[in-house]
């Protein structure tokens, strides 16, 4: 762990106890001193990112931290269901940046930041082309999955339900009973209560 300039680099040395000996030499004599340096394991976090949630919606903060015997603290705690766990659910009323501090039992820390952007408007697309070309193949309502209690239904012109989803974990691919539906006009109903915060 000693660099060419004589500095001890803990990341090069690695976790553990290292005996470092310094020797001073002159033409006629020498003197040595040995010290022990302990390199502790530090938590490692993946970089945070920006997240989007619909107004009055909720989203889990997907932090990933590796380490042993870690404790967690999110700040600010406002809008979080539990600021002392790795992945709390956030339901902020306005855009907010959250900081996670993960601390090992030896006192080593790592910090990571997530910004939650609150969207004020639900945007529902009125067309899609489920032809399997990889472009616009799904009828996807952005961020509707942040309303876990929502119900989404799609009806054909005869009033038959061709898509029904409690919550919105997956967008519609234009199929009904494993069959591709024909091009045409379909009708939607979105209902449910926004999550309470």
* DSSP string computed for 5-64: TS-B-HHHH-SEEEEEEEEEE-SS-EEEEEEEEEEPP--EE----EEEEETT--EE----
User: Distances in Å between the alpha carbon of 193 and those of 47, 120, 125, 196?
Assistant: 33, 16, 21, 8
Q: How confident is the model over 75-84, as a mean pLDDT?
A: 96
Confidence band of 194 (pLDDT split at 50, 70, 90): low
Are 195 and 59 in contact by the 8 Å Cβ rule? The answer is no
What's the pLDDT score for residue 72? Answer: 97
What's the pLDDT score for residue 38? Answer: 87
What's the pLDDT score for residue 160? Answer: 92
Separation of alpha carbons 194 and 169, rounded Å: 16
Angle at 140 between CA 156 and CA 86, to 5 degrees: 135
Tens digits of residue pLDDT in 10-45: 888 888 899 988 888 888 899 999 999 988 888 989
Tens digits of residue pLDDT in 119-146: 888 888 888 988 888 888 899 888 888 8
Q: Give CA 49 to chain center in angstroms.
A: 7
Q: How confident is the model over 44-49, as a mean pLDDT?
A: 90
When the pLDDT of each residue in the chain is averaged and rounded to a whole number, the result is 89
Residue 93 has pLDDT above 80, yes or no: yes
Share of the chain above pLDDT 70, in %: 97
| Between residues 121 and 180, the one the model is more confident about | 180
What's the pLDDT score for residue 86? Answer: 97
Q: How confident is the model over 85-96, as a mean pLDDT?
A: 95
Q: How confident is the model over 171-187, as a mean pLDDT?
A: 90
Residue 195 has pLDDT above 60, yes or no: no
What's the pLDDT score for residue 196? Answer: 46
Q: Are strands 175-176 and 179-180 parallel, antiparallel or unpaired?
A: antiparallel
């Amino acid at each position: 762990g000693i660099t060419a300039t004589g500095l001890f680099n803990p990341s090069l040395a690695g976790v553990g106890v290292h005996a470092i000996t310094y020797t001073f030499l002159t033409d006629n004599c020498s003197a040595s001193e040995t010290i022990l340096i302990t390199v502790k394991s530090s938590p490692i976090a993946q970089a945070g990112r920006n997240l989007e949630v619909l107004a009055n919606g909720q989203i889990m903060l997907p932090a990933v931290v590796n380490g042993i015997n870690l404790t967690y603290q999110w700040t600010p705690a406002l809008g979080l269901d539990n600021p002392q766990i790795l992945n709390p659910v956030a339901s902020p009323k306005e855009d907010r940046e959250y900081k996670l501090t993960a601390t090992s039992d030896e006192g080593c820390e790592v910090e990571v930041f997530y910004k939650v952007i609150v969207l004020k408007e639900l945007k529902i697309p009125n067309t899609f082309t489920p032809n399997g070309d990889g472009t616009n193949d799904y009828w996807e309502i952005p961020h509707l999955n942040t309303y876990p209690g929502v119900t989404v239904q799609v009806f054909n012109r005869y009033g038959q339900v061709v898509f029904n989803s409690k919550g919105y974990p997956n967008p519609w691919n234009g199929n009904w009973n494993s069959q591709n539906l024909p091009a045409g006009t379909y009708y939607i109903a979105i209902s449910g209560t926004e999550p309470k915060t």
